[in-house]
């Protein structure tokens, strides 16, 4: 069986299911586990490198408005591979190549695949949805026993994390220029960690938020989980938040309760590692951990 994965979370889940050897190509963003970096990268990004967040937002907004693809598929290579399975997602056209986009791209570029090729689309927006995606993959790829084990283990871990609730609120920001609220499974991660989501509910889409909305929410803590960025990169965005005079009177900023996390690994992707993200969130704030705490400089 030859599998092509166009989604980082899917590649991760496929490895968890014991299907590493069957993966023949991945997206340019599939970087965990490390072994995936040795696989052929069949996609590439049309977003220029080294842009700041404001410029990236503009590129993405214009691309969506003008129906310009943000990612490319090497359709010649895909034809050569002639995969049995293509795994993608229908959740977010910005984050990866969706099922519809694959079909359109293949049609436009006259990529010929055999009729046996099956496209599996993952659409998890909550923890339960992600578990369903794991079980679905397991059923379709003859790994049902492993999939059930992974889900049962994850559900048990969720119960262990989800203790000692407080009334404290957290505003997790998926982007800071402009500001975007946390969406999909991330508000649920906040709940798992024992806190309240200042803006955004489980299953909601991430959305651009106004300064007025941020002020009204007046969170006890602010977390930087800018989509696709690692811990150090998100830490670097703390200065923008601290230096924003429009919100520097907020409780979290006055008390220097701003934290940063490796979003690319633990928040941005619909994989079971969101549980690790919830644990990091809980421990970082509860223990005021210097690894995640962003102080004003």
Domain 162-294 sits in which CATH superfamily?
A: Nitrogenase molybdenum iron protein domain (3.40.50.1980)
pLDDT band at 72 (very low <50, low <70, confident <90, very high): confident
**Do the Cβ atoms of 26 and 7 come closer than 8 Å?**
no
Average the pLDDT over each of 29-38, 77-86, 269-278 and give the range with the smallest value.
Answer: 77-86
Of 93 and 287, which is predicted with more confidence?
Answer: 287
SS3 197: strand
Question: Which are the contacts of 85, defined by CB distance < 8 A and separation ≥ 6?
Answer: 1, 2, 3, 4, 117, 118, 120, 140, 141
pLDDT of residue 289: 92
Check residue 122 and give left, alpha or beta (phi > 0: left; psi -120 to 50: alpha): beta
pLDDT of residue 88: 87
pLDDT tens-digit series, residues 132-167 = 999 999 999 999 999 999 999 999 999 999 888 899
Residue 99's Cα: distance from chain center in Å?
Answer: 17
Q: What is the pTM of this model?
A: 0.90
What does pLDDT average to over the chain? 91
pLDDT of residue 115: 72
**pLDDT(67) > 90:** no
pLDDT of residue 91: 58
**Do the Cβ atoms of 227 and 175 come closer than 8 Å?**
yes
How do 196-197 and 221-224 pair as beta strands?
unpaired
Q: What is the mean pLDDT of residues 16-37?
A: 96
pLDDT band at 118 (very low <50, low <70, confident <90, very high): confident
Q: What is the mean pLDDT of residues 246-253?
A: 95
Can you tell me the distance from the alpha carbon of 29 to that of 33, in angstroms, rounded to the nearest whole number? Answer: 11
DSSP code, position 245: T
Question: Can you give the residue ranges of every domain in the chain?
Answer: 3-123, 162-294
pLDDT of residue 12: 96
pLDDT of residue 97: 67
Average the pLDDT over each of 76-90, 208-222, 254-268 and give the range with the smallest value.
Answer: 76-90
The CATH number that domain 3-123 falls under is 3.40.50
**Do the Cβ atoms of 215 and 200 come closer than 8 Å?**
no
Can you tell me the distance from the alpha carbon of 35 to that of 56, in angstroms, rounded to the nearest whole number? Answer: 29
pLDDT of residue 260: 97
Asked whether this chain's domains 3-123 and 162-294 adopt the same fold, the reply is: yes
Average the pLDDT over each of 73-77, 112-116, 127-131 and give the range with the smallest value.
Answer: 112-116
pLDDT band at 16 (very low <50, low <70, confident <90, very high): very high
**Do the Cβ atoms of 95 and 205 come closer than 8 Å?**
no
Of 62 and 147, which is predicted with more confidence?
Answer: 147
Enter the tokens of residue 215.
């002020």
Q: What is the mean pLDDT of residues 216-226?
A: 97
SS3 172: strand
Percent of the chain with pLDDT over 70: 92
């Amino acid at each position: 069986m030859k599998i092509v994965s166009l989604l980082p979370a899917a590649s991760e889940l496929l490895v968890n299911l014991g299907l590493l050897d069957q993966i023949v190509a991945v997206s340019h963003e599939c970087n965990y586990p490390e072994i995936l970096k040795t696989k052929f990268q069949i996609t590439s990004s049309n977003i220029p490198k080294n842009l700041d967040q404001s410029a990236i937002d503009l590129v993405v907004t214009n691309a969506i408005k003008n129906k310009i693809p943000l990612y490319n598929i090497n359709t010649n290579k895909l034809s050569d591979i002639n995969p049995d399975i293509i795994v993608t997602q229908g959740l977010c056209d910005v984050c990866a190549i969706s099922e519809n986009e694959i079909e359109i791209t293949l049609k436009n570029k006259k990529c010929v695949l055999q009729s046996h090729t099956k496209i599996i689309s993952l659409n998890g927006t909550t923890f339960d949805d992600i578990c369903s995606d794991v079980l679905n993959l397991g059923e379709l790829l003859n790994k049902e026993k492993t999939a059930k084990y992974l889900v049962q283990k994850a559900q048990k871990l969720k119960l262990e994390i989800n203790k000692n609730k407080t009334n404290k609120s957290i505003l997790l920001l998926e982007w800071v220029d402009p500001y975007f609220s946390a969406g999909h499974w991330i508000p649920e991660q906040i709940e798992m960690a024992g806190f309240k989501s200042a803006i955004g509910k489980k299953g909601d889409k991430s959305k651009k938020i106004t300064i007025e909305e941020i002020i009204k929410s007046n969170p006890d803590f602010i977390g930087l989980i800018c989509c696709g960025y690692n811990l150090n990169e998100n830490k670097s965005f703390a200065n923008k938040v601290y230096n924003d005079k429009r919100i520097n009177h907020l409780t979290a900023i006055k008390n220097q309760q701003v934290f940063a996390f490796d979003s690319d690994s633990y928040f941005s992707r619909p994989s079971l590692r969101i549980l690790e993200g919830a644990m990091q969130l809980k421990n970082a704030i509860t223990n005021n951990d210097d690894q995640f705490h962003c102080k004003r400089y």
